[in-house]
Each structure stands twice: as structure tokens, then as C-alpha cells.
Chains A and B, each alone.
Chain A
């Protein structure tokens, strides 16, 4: 039995501890925000926060989450910080087809928590593990920059 906190709630699962956290979130908890893109840690579509830091849930065994706190885009969406980021993404056109968006938001949150006033270069490093197939990187960088300024004090 593996216990952890998922989006603020204590949960327990009795699944194969080597299962990918991604599959557990999607199939067992019906949290479909994290998606499988490449399945090998390169695209970031599966990104979630573990103890507030971005990780790729496609190469993260369930066992490694024991006693940790997992936040998916669904849990994050209930915060003011999410709203600030989502507004900025809308205003800057940071979301096109949308498949990378949950991962991008998770990457932005992980970055801004550690570095509330990042430079553009730091933002690009922060989202360097997330691929946008529409190649809308400039708008995403602008959106994160905007959220950082407008959402002053939230991070």
C-alpha cells in the first residue's frame, strides 16, 4: 500500500509500485491533465509537481511518490497562481493546440516558486523540458513573464 497526498487529499493505492505515476494518475484517479507524449521524459506533457517541483510522471515509479505531495494541473487549477498564469497565457496566446499547456503551466509554477522574478533566459531554461508542437515558445515565455509581473506577491 502506497500513501501520498494528491491535490491536497491523502490517498492510498494498492498498485504495482513500479507503475508509472502517469498511468496511476490517469487510470486510477481519472486525472487526465497529465498526458503521455513521448513516454521517455523528453516532452513534458506528463509533468506534475512532487513537493512543489516539476517531475516527469512518465518515468517516475509510483514507489517514489510514497509520503510525498503530488499536485497535478487539476489541483493547481484551484489556486490564484494558476489563475494568474492562465490569464496571462490567454492574453499572450500562449496556448494553441493545448496539448503542452498543462505541462507548461506546471513548469511555470515550479520555476516561479523558486524564482518569482525570472529573466527570459531563466524562463526558457525552466520550460526546457517541455515541448510545444505548435512552436509557440515566444508567447509562452511572454505569458510567464507577464504572470510573474502581474501576479506579484503570489509566488
Chain B
């Protein structure tokens, strides 16, 4: 018999995770559908469930000089209307699902679900987000790309939960977000792109690109990015063909019901080109 537990507080939740095998559920917008049963019947959960969404101590947005800390159970809709949330992340959330889903869904859910097409993951990669994993015996601070290791695969241990997401306060001179989907609301991305650049007196001091839905995880390559630092904007633009060739090697999209390899490849290249041309 599967157990269902609504923990009283964070400590209670951690104790349950420590003592037994529980599956954490937040807003439920992915899990409830993935485990959907016939009409009128509860979903087919095969493990014990731990319901975290109403833990008030995990609902907050805090900002200091260097970073923004987001409690893991804060809804996307709350983030969308919060003054301290980076604009780029808000731009992305605005195009995710619809108000009713955003009132339930969380960044933590998007991370734990680890879909290659998870929209919020793209800006989180781009912004160097840190995922805080808590358990009774330790707290781990991991960069998001170390948390997600493949489609639906994360390094989150059975006794851990996502407690917080930390985002260093960005200072870019230009950012870009493009979601290519079937419609504005409720669409799962065919391809998604986030870019950010800092230009100081004509010189690139920070250059970042993240792509979603074109590989097993979000693509971000810091080695590539580093090699474009200290170039002038013109030098960067002149390197566009080489940049595209390099990124093409990372982009390994699949064919599915939403799109196909060729389209995704071409659109990803077009989005990189457009971003660089507009710097």
C-alpha cells in the first residue's frame, strides 16, 4: 500500500525522506499527468508520495547584493510578478503553460522532471543557477548542469529534496529569449534559446548561449563561451561561421511529434545567428 504524507514542515519532510522511500511531488502538473489513470481513478503512483507544495517555509524570494534565493515551492506565477526575479527568467516564465498551470508549477518541479524541453531550465543554465539539495545529514549546492544528467535523470538522491534555487544577480548588457512552439500558451518547445552578453567599450566581457530541446539536456558550453571573451563585437561577428560549426557539433536533436531533427538543427543555428548579429 502506497503511503501519502503531507509533512508538517521541512524537517518533517526531510525525516520522512531519510526513513523511507518517498517520491517528492510539488505542484503535480507533470507527475499527475505522467501517472494518469482512467477517469475517476487516482493516478498510478507506485511509490510513497510526499507532498511539499504547501510548505510555507519553502515559499520565498530573497535578494541580497549578489544573488536571488528562490524557495523551491514558490509558484511560477508568483515569480512572474515578483520584482526581484531577473527579467530574463520572467520572460521565459511568461511563455510557459498558462496562468492556471503557473499557479501550481514550480522551478523545482521543472528541474526534477529534467525534460530536455523544460523551458525554465534554459535561463537557469544561462544564469549559472545553483540548486540547493537538502537532506537530514547535509546540504549540497550544485550548479544546475551537475544536477540534470540526462532526459528525466538527475543526481538528486532518494533522501534529498530541492530546497532552494540560487541565481547570481545578472549584469548583462543584452539578453535574448526565443521559444519556438506551436502556439503562445501551453506549448512544449520545439527549440528554445537564451543568450546573454556583456559588452564594455566594444569588447565582449561575458558571452553565454543556452539551447533547449535540441539535446538530451540543455546545452551550454563554457569553454566555447570563454574563447569569445575579450573579442571586439566585430571580431565576434566575423567568427559567426565557426561559432555555428562548433555549436552544430553539440546539437543532437531528435524527431518527435512536435518537430524533427532537420528543423531543430536549422532553427537552432538561425537563433544563434540572429542573437550574434543583433549584438
Residues of A within 8 A of B (CB): 2, 16-20, 23, 27, 36, 39-42, 44, 47, 50, 53-56, 58-61, 63-64, 66-68, 107, 110-111, 125-126, 128-130
Contacts and interface: CB of A to CB of B under 8 A. Distances in A.
> In terms of DSSP, what is the predominant structure of the interface of chain A?
mixed
Contacts of A129: 97-101, 185-186
A18 B45 contact: yes
14 contacts: A18-B2, A19-B42, A36-B39, A41-B97, A42-B186, A53-B99, A56-B29, A58-B32, A59-B101, A64-B27, A66-B54, A67-B54, A125-B185, A126-B99
Central interface residue in B77, B184, B186, by most chain A CB within 10 Å: B186
Contact of A59 (B29, B40, B77, B99): B29
A129 B41 CA distance: 24
A59 B185 contact: no
A41 B54 contact: no
Contacts of A59: 28-29, 32-33, 101, 104
A68 B54 contact: yes
Contacts of A50: 103
A39 B51 contact: no
B43 interface: yes
Given A18-B42, A18-B43, A64 B28 contact: yes
A129 B76 CA distance: 15
Residue among A47, A58, A64 with max Cβ neighbours from chain B (10 Å):
A64
Name the residue in A2, A20, A111 with the highest tally of chain B Cβ atoms < 10 Å from its Cβ: A20
Contacts of A55: 100, 103-104
B54 A17 contact: no
Contacts of B49: 17-18, 63
A20 B32 contact: yes
B54 A107 contact: no
B191 to A, nearest CB: 21
A47 B99 CA distance: 11
A2 B6 CA distance: 10
B36 interface: yes
Given A17-B51, A129-B99, 11 more contacts: A18-B32, A18-B43, A23-B39, A39-B36, A63-B49, A64-B28, A64-B54, A110-B99, A125-B185, A129-B98, A129-B185
B17 interface: no
Specify which of B41, B54, B77, B104 lies most central, judged by the most chain A CB atoms within 10 Å of its CB: B104
A110 B101 CA distance: 13
B51 A41 contact: no
A16 B77 CA distance: 28
A2 B4 CA distance: 11
A16 B4 contact: yes
Contacts of B27: 60, 64
A39 B101 CA distance: 13
B227 to A, nearest CB: 40
B51 A53 contact: no
Contacts of B104: 55-56, 59-60, 64
A56 B101 contact: yes
Closest A-B pairs by Cβ, 4 of them? A129-B98, A128-B185, A17-B4, A59-B32
Contacts of A19: 42
Contacts of A110: 99-100
Given A41-B100, A53-B77, A128 B186 contact: yes
A61 B51 contact: yes
A20 B37 CA distance: 10
A54 B186 CA distance: 15
A67 B56 CA distance: 12
A23 B33 contact: no
Contact of B6 (A17, A20, A130): A17
B10 interface: no
